């Protein structure tokens, strides 16, 4: 799959694409990332890409024309590479919140053109005529779309075959359907007893016994406990969808979590 990123700061992506386990997806070409700077398509000696907003107000607004020219170059390049037309995605607080189901859908697609806005925003005329979808990471505002773009690329890359060391790793992620949309259970590693700031803290005995059925049940119950405490909305959704069995319900009642 191929993602084309339109950004005024392509240099921000270099370290991201070349470090960490997910670099396997980028280096192998499983997830191709092409960077495009709209400043290269702007007029004048200063290659200006922004201007003051009509009607007054603070800040500057990215102009439609450099973005449009950049997008045309992207589409032409994709066509020459025999790539299918990809949706144009803008990262914006007005967009749909990105979740696991959305990431899974993007990981199975042919890619997209990711537009990273800056300043006060982008000329609405470009959005109305060129953008197919808008995506948000949540109800807060960032300085630009580069971090959301990296978040989407990271989430998509780790779902590609062979990227993670263990093929089952992402199946145990929080929100994954394998976990019925619940949060993941806590994890522990060596030493068996950690001399922490609150004194000796041992690993739960059940994890040391080698009894896989008990371990699986323990992890399931810890997942239920964590979800009930931290994300009760996810637990309610799982119950409403009938994804909890009788033993799950019994555990939640015993713990006073229902």
The catalytically annotated residue of 15, 52, 93, 232 is 93
β pairing state of 2-6 and 111-115: parallel
245 is catalytic: no
The pair phi, psi for residue 35, each rounded to 5°, is -105, 135
The reply to whether 27 belongs to the active site is: no
The rounded distance, in Å, linking the Cα atoms of 213 and 206 is: 10
DSSP 182: P
Catalytic site includes residue 158? yes
- Residue 173 annotated in active site: yes
Long-range CB pairs of 53-58, under 8 A, 24+ apart, other chains included: 53/120, 57/120, 58/120
The answer to whether the beta carbons of residues 26 and 17 sit under 8 Å apart is: yes
How far apart CA 55 and CA 77 sit, in angstroms, is 37
Kindly give the pairing relationship between strand 199-202 and strand 193-196.
antiparallel
End-to-end CA distance of the chain: 44
Q: Which of 158, 219, 220, 225 is catalytic?
A: 158
**DSSP code of residue 122:** B
Catalytic-labelled residue, pool 65, 77, 83, 120: 120
Catalytic residue, chosen from 83, 154, 173, 184, is: 173
Residues with catalytic roles: 93, 120, 158, 173
């Amino acid at each position: 799959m191929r993602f084309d990123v339109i950004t005024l700061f392509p240099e921000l992506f270099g370290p991201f694409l070349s470090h960490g386990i997910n670099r396997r997806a980028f280096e192998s070409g499983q997830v191709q990332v092409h960077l495009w700077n709209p400043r290269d398509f702007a007029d004048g000696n200063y290659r200006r890409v922004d201007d003051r907003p009509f009607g007054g107000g603070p800040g500057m607004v990215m102009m439609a024309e450099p973005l449009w020219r950049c997008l045309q170059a992207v589409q032409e390049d994709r066509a020459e590479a025999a790539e299918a037309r990809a949706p144009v995605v803008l990262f914006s607080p007005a967009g749909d919140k990105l979740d696991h189901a959305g990431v899974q859908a993007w990981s199975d697609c042919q890619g997209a053109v990711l537009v990273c806005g800056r300043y006060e925003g982008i000329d609405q005329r470009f959005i109305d005529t060129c953008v197919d979808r808008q995506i948000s990471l949540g109800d807060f505002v960032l300085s630009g779309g580069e971090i959301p773009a990296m978040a989407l690329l990271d989430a998509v890359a780790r779902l590609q075959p062979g990227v993670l060391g263990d093929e089952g790793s992402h199946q145990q992620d929080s929100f994954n359907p394998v976990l019925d949309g619940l949060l993941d259970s806590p994890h522990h590693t060596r030493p068996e007893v950690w001399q922490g700031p609150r004194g000796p803290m041992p690993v739960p005995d059940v994890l040391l016994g080698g009894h896989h059925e008990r371990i699986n049940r323990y992890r399931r119950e810890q997942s239920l406990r964590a979800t009930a405490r931290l994300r009760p909305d996810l637990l309610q959704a799982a119950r409403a969808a009938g994804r909890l069995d009788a033993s799950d319900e019994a555990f939640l009642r015993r713990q006073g979590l229902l």
